[in-house]
Homo-oligomer: A and B are copies of this chain.
Amino acid sequence: MEKVFRDPVHNYINVNSSIISALIDTAEFQRLRRIKQLGTSSFTFHGAEHTRFSHCLGVYHIAKKITDYFSMNFPLEWNPDENLLTQCAALLHDVGHGAYSHTFEGLFGTDHEAVTREIITSEETEVNAILRQVSPDFPEKVASVISHEYANPQVVQLISSQIDADRMDYLLRDAYYTGAVYGQFDLTRILRVMVPTENGIAFKYSGMHAVEDYIVSRYQMYMQVYFHAASRSMEVLLQKMLARAKFLYAQCPDYFATSSPCLVPFFEKNHNLKNYLRLDDGVMNTYFQTWMEHDDKILSDLATAYINRHLLKSIKFDRNSIKENELDVLSQLVSEAGFDPVYYTGIHSNYDLPYDFYRPSSSKPRTQIEILQKDGELTELSMLSPLIQSLTGTIHGNSRFYFPKVMLENPEFTKYIKNDTFISTDGVISTILD
């Protein structure tokens, strides 16, 4: 029986496979309802409160549209037996994400990709039990698609490449929920010009501009939404608060055993899958709210700042031209103002490579976007588009130094700042392109 989900981005999402339907109903997948898609970005874009649950449904939906279209139109080039596999991989590609994944992983050594694989392949999970209904080796196949090891490059590229179901959904979804118009692109068109080829996926020449627009939209979303200084301020706060808790745990584990029991296995570095699945945004925030009343001034202060959104301020600096320890002068002033700079200053760098062609010598070579010409030739995208050429192979983003807001009242401190940018101690200011 068909199930229909009303989705603001794709209008309706239809599920007519009982396997997909059962996967959605598992505890592991339902858990994604409790994890925000954009982490701390909702502190900047208050509309962006959507969850990984919505996003994963959306990726499934796009994958389903593509596989249905391929099955109908490319009987020779595409094997319809790959449909369910592709759709399952799409649905589950992020199932291992946890609360505030990136910050958390840095501090506690977890790895959401490994967890994704474990949720899919461990016999303990509901997800695995459903997948095994298809065939005993099906869980492993799904996991291999997500880890790029599956033999059919078409399937792998649909789930993970420079233009895949994952990215297409998150750009549209994040644009919708933040209200940023820049993220819009012509999904319908892109889906109509996709072609399965021998070595993967290509796009007909007639849709090149839609692909071009997608790359530009992605670039703009990175520059304006994902790299926003305020969201990164919240990430710095989060990172510092968790680091302080970790430090305090070593001294006084009992407090945390009572106030934040689900974090203990992580403090103790003996966590397992079950422990991991217990954490979500609500659990973490509940603990942070408890910590607001901890005796340790730094922990309670950082927790209060995080929960009540008291932002650290920041300035940009040029990571290439800056000399070693040049920022120490600022940390010193922060320290003199009574703040421990270990917890009250921080550097946050965000860089992205918007697009690149395949570079075999690269450590992580990218699958390039291929355009299918009328005579059957495949040409790499940046060869045809000057707009894309300008974004190819160049990294964009910036590095920021965070500090307490009160510092902006200190002229000793602000004399190092011009147009929100650090002035080198020798008086040089670089123009920093975002």
Contact of A12 among B30, B188, B216, B383 (CB under 8 A): B188
Contact of A216 among B51, B188, B224, B387 (CB under 8 A): B387
A418–B50 alpha-carbon span in the complex (Å): 37
Which stretch of A1-9, A149-157, A345-353 is in the interface? A1-9
Contact of A286 among B213, B283, B384, B433 (CB under 8 A): B283
Once A33-B42, A309-B25, A387-B391 are accepted as A-B contacts, the answer to whether A12 and B189 lie under 8 Å apart by CB is yes
Check B285 against A289 for contact (C-beta < 8 Å).
no
Check B45 against A54 for contact (C-beta < 8 Å).
no
Interchain nearest-CB distance for A232 vs B (Å): 17
Interchain nearest-CB distance for A187 vs B (Å): 9
A323 at the interface (CB under 8 A from B): no
Once A184-B184, A213-B220 are accepted as A-B contacts, the answer to whether A47 and B286 lie under 8 Å apart by CB is no
A282 at the interface (CB under 8 A from B): yes
Q: Which residues of A contact B (CB under 8 A)?
A: 4-9, 11-12, 25-27, 30, 33-34, 42-43, 45-47, 49-51, 53-54, 57, 176-182, 184-186, 188-189, 192, 205, 209, 212-213, 216, 219-220, 223-224, 258, 278, 280-283, 285-286, 289, 307-310, 373-375, 377, 379, 383-387, 389-391, 394, 396, 418-420, 431, 433-434
Interface-centre pick from A46, A286, A394 (highest chain B CB count, 10 A): A46
Check B7 against A179 for contact (C-beta < 8 Å).
yes
Check B27 against A308 for contact (C-beta < 8 Å).
yes
A384–B396 alpha-carbon span in the complex (Å): 12
Once A278-B289, A374-B420 are accepted as A-B contacts, the answer to whether A8 and B177 lie under 8 Å apart by CB is yes
Name the B residues within 8 Å of A46 (CB-CB). Answer: 5, 7, 33, 51, 53-54, 57
Check A34 against B258 for contact (C-beta < 8 Å).
no
Contact of A34 among B180, B285, B377 (CB under 8 A): B285
A189–B91 alpha-carbon span in the complex (Å): 24
A179–B7 alpha-carbon span in the complex (Å): 6
Check A309 against B30 for contact (C-beta < 8 Å).
yes
